[in-house]
Structure 1
């Protein structure tokens, strides 16, 4: 299960992600689609603990990605 509420990420003066919400039930296959620069990679990086959001919350498997990034990393696989 993946949940995100109000995720915001800025790179300098550029807002890459603005107020992003997401609910993905366990066992669901998800694709993030959008044009170049829409924030897809940034969202994946936040959810996989490779980037920290400027605001908002996110959990993966019920674990807060900001407070317990190592636990999240132990439970996910990322390739690409």
Structure 2
């Protein structure tokens, strides 16, 4: 059986009355390359931020490398690497 690297089950995130991510579910096996495509405001960045423990989901469950994103944040962070769109390095 293939091990799951990323698992999202009914993840939801709102900002006031705006629903940024509405109950998204997905399972990504280990050693898989995944691209997220969608229009501006579709929730791609919000979903990644929830799965990398930068944001707390309003509801749902997420695991990364077997670690719960809400209850094992340090373990999630130790098991991943994250590079943002813009470099935060001074010249």
TM-score by length of 2: 0.87
Query: Larger RCO: Structure 1 or Structure 2 (Cα < 8 Å, ≥ 6 residues apart)?
Result: 1
Superposed CA RMSD: 0.4
> 1:35 matched to which residue of 2?
39
Q: What does residue range 16-55 of structure 1 map to in structure 2 within 5 Å? A: 16-55=20-59
Which ranges in structure 2 are unaligned for 5 or more consecutive residues? Answer: 85-91
Which one has a bigger Cα radius of gyration? 2
Q: 2:26 and 2:33 mapped to 1: Cα distance?
A: 13
Count matched residues: 80
Which residue in the other structure is 2:14 paired with? 10
Taking the aligned partners of 2:25 and 2:17, their CA distance within structure 1 comes to 22
